[in-house]
C-alpha cells in the first residue's frame, strides 16, 4: 500500500509548530509599555530576523507590522510548498485572499487620498515578494502601479488583466455616482469565496473538511454582517446586498432572523443556535456599542471548532489549513497588540479579544 501523499506535508508542518509563539508570551506582550518593548520581546523569536530586515526602513508600529507581515507570508509560502500536486490548487485559491485584501486596501486608500508610501506598509508582502507571487497573479510592482493610478476607475481597469476586474467593472458607474466604495469591496469578497468554493469541489474525498472550513468563515462574516446591520439600523435590502452565498447559513434563513429580531439582544439570542458563545460579546456591546466582542467570540469559537475538525484528519489537506489558520490568528493577534499600544488602548480593552492564547 502506498503511503499518503500528505505524510511529508504532516512531517514538515509538525517541524514548524514550535515556531508559533508560546501562550505565556502574550501576557508580557500585552503588558509591554510601548511598541519598542514589543519588538524587544519578539527579537528572540522567529520574528527576530524580519525585525532586523525591516529596521533599515521602518520604525515604531510600522516596523513590527511589516516584520509580522513578512513572516506571515513566509508561512503561507511554506503551506503552499508542502501541498502535494492534487491539493495545491485549493491552497492557491485560499491564499488569493491576500491579493483580494491588498486590492481592497488600495481601493480604499484611493478613495481616502492616502499615498503609496502610507499604504505599502499594510500590504501583505515580505520585502519585494508579495503573497500574490506565491498564490495569485499579482506581484508587488503591480500593487505599486495600482497605487499610482489617478482614480478608482483607473485601478479597476488595471485589475482586468489579473482577473479581478470582471466583478468590479459593472459597479464603476454606480461608484462614480455615489462615491461608495463598499459595493466594490463586497464584490471582491463574493468573487473570492465563489472561486474558493469552486476549488474545493470533491475529487479525492478529503476536501470536505476544507469546504466546511471555508463555509464556517463565510458564516461568521454573514453573522457579523447581520449584527452590524442591526446596530446601524439598516433596512434588510441594504444588509443583504452584502451577504455572501455559500455558507451553511442560507440567505433566506438569515433574512428571516434579521427581520423578526426586535433588537440587537434578540438577534444575538436568535443567532446563538449557530454561534453558542456569541453572547460573550454582549456585555461589551452594551457598555460602549462596540461590535469587537462579538467578532472575537465568533473568531474564537470558529478557531476552536475548526482546529479540532481539521486535526482529526492529519493525512489530508486539513493539516495544511490548520497550519494556515494558526498563522493567520497569530498575525491578527500581534497586529491587535501593536496598534493597541500605538494608539494608547488599555490592556483591559484589547487583551480579552486575543485568540491565540486561548487555543
The full DSSP string for 270-312 is: HHTTT-TTGGGGHHHHHHH--SHHHHHHHHHHHHHHHHHHHHT
Cα–Cα dist 49/88, whole Å: 28
Cell of 248: 451553511
Task: Say if residues 100 and 108 touch (Cβ distance below 8 Å).
Answer: no
Task: Say if residues 32 and 341 touch (Cβ distance below 8 Å).
Answer: yes
Q: Looking at residue 129, what is its pLDDT?
A: 40
Q: Looking at residue 189, what is its pLDDT?
A: 94
> Which of these, 323, 160, 311, 186, lies nearest to 243 by C-alpha position?
186
Residue 354 per-residue DSSP state: -
Q: Looking at residue 110, what is its pLDDT?
A: 83
State CA 336 to chain mean position distance: 13
Q: Looking at residue 85, what is its pLDDT?
A: 85
Q: Looking at residue 148, what is its pLDDT?
A: 83
How far from each other are the two terminal CA atoms of the chain, in whole angstroms? 36
> Which of these, 141, 140, 128, 134, lies nearest to 94 by C-alpha position?
134
Helices and strands counted in the chain (H then E): 21, 0
Q: Is 83 exposed, middle or buried, given 0-12, 13-18 or 19+ CB atoms closer than 10 A?
A: buried
Q: Looking at residue 9, what is its pLDDT?
A: 85
> Which of these, 66, 76, 71, 75, lies nearest to 99 by C-alpha position?
76
> What does pTM read for this prediction?
0.91
Q: Looking at residue 64, what is its pLDDT?
A: 93
> Which of these, 57, 61, 56, lies nearest to 42 by C-alpha position?
61
Q: Looking at residue 120, what is its pLDDT?
A: 55
Task: Say if residues 63 and 51 touch (Cβ distance below 8 Å).
Answer: yes
Q: Is 227 exposed, middle or buried, given 0-12, 13-18 or 19+ CB atoms closer than 10 A?
A: buried
* Contacts of 141 by beta carbon, 8 Å cutoff, 6+ apart: none
Q: Looking at residue 137, what is its pLDDT?
A: 61
Q: Looking at residue 105, what is its pLDDT?
A: 83
* Contacts of 23 by beta carbon, 8 Å cutoff, 6+ apart: 356, 357
* Contacts of 157 by beta carbon, 8 Å cutoff, 6+ apart: 149, 165
Q: Looking at residue 133, what is its pLDDT?
A: 42
Cα–Cα dist 65/258, whole Å: 37
Task: Say if residues 74 and 85 touch (Cβ distance below 8 Å).
Answer: no
Q: Looking at residue 162, what is its pLDDT?
A: 84
Cα–Cα dist 327/94, whole Å: 14
Residues of the chain with pLDDT under 70: 1-3, 114-137, 203-206
Amino acid at each position: 500500500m502506498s503511503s499518503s501523499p500528505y505524510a511529508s506535508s504532516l512531517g514538515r508542518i509538525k517541524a514548524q509548530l514550535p515556531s508559533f509563539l508560546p501562550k505565556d508570551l502574550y501576557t508580557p506582550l500585552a503588558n509591554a509599555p510601548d511598541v519598542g518593548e514589543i519588538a524587544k520581546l519578539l527579537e528572540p523569536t522567529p520574528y527576530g530576523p524580519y525585525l532586523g530586515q525591516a529596521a533599515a526602513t521602518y520604525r515604531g508600529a510600522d516596523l513590527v507590522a511589516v516584520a509580522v507581515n513578512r513572516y506571515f507570508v513566509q508561512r503561507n509560502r511554506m503551506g503552499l510548498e508542502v501541498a502535494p500536486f492534487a491539493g495545491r490548487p485549493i491552497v492557491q485559491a485560499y491564499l488569493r485572499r491576500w491579493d483580494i485584501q491588498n486590492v481592497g486596501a488600495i481601493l480604499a486608500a484611493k478613495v481616502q487620498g492616502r499615498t503609496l508610501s502610507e499604504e505599502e506598509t499594510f500590504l501583505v508582502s515580505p520585502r519585494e515578494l508579495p503573497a500574490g507571487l506565491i498564490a495569485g497573479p499579482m506581484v508587488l510592482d503591480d500593487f505599486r502601479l495600482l497605487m499610482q493610478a489617478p482614480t478608482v476607475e483607473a485601478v479597476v481597469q488595471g485589475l482586468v488583466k489579473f482577473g479581478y476586474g470582471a466583478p468590479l467593472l459593472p459597479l464603476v458607474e454606480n461608484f462614480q455616482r455615489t462615491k461608495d466604495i463598499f459595493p466594490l469591496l463586497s464584490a471582491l469578497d463574493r468573487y473570492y469565496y465563489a472561486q474558493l468554493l469552486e476549488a474545493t469541489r470533491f475529487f479525492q474525498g478529503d476536501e470536505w473538511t476544507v469546504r466546511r472550513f471555508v463555509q464556517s468563515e463565510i458564516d461568521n462574516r454573514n453573522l457579523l454582517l447581520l449584527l452590524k446591520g442591526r446596530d446601524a439600523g439598516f433596512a434588510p435590502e441594504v444588509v443583504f446586498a452584502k451577504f455572501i452565498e455559500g455558507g451553511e447559513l442560507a440567505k433566506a434563513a438569515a433574512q428571516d432572523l434579521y427581520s423578526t429580531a426586535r433588537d440587537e439582544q434578540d438577534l444575538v439570542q436568535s443567532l446563538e443556535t449557530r454561534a453558542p458563545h456569541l453572547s460573550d460579546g454582549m456585555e461589551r456591546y452594551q457598555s460602549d456599542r462596540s461590535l469587537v466582542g462579538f467578532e472575537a467570540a465568533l473568531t474564537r469559537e470558529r478557531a476552536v471548532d475548526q482546529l479540532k475538525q481539521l486535526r482529526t484528519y492529519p493525512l489530508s489537506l486539513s493539516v495544511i489549513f490548520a497550519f494556515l489558520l494558526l498563522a493567520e490568528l497569530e498575525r491578527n493577534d500581534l497586529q491587535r497588540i501593536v496598534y493597541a499600544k500605538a494608539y494608547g488602548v488599555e490592556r483591559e480593552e484589547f487583551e480579552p479579544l486575543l485568540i491565540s492564547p486561548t487555543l
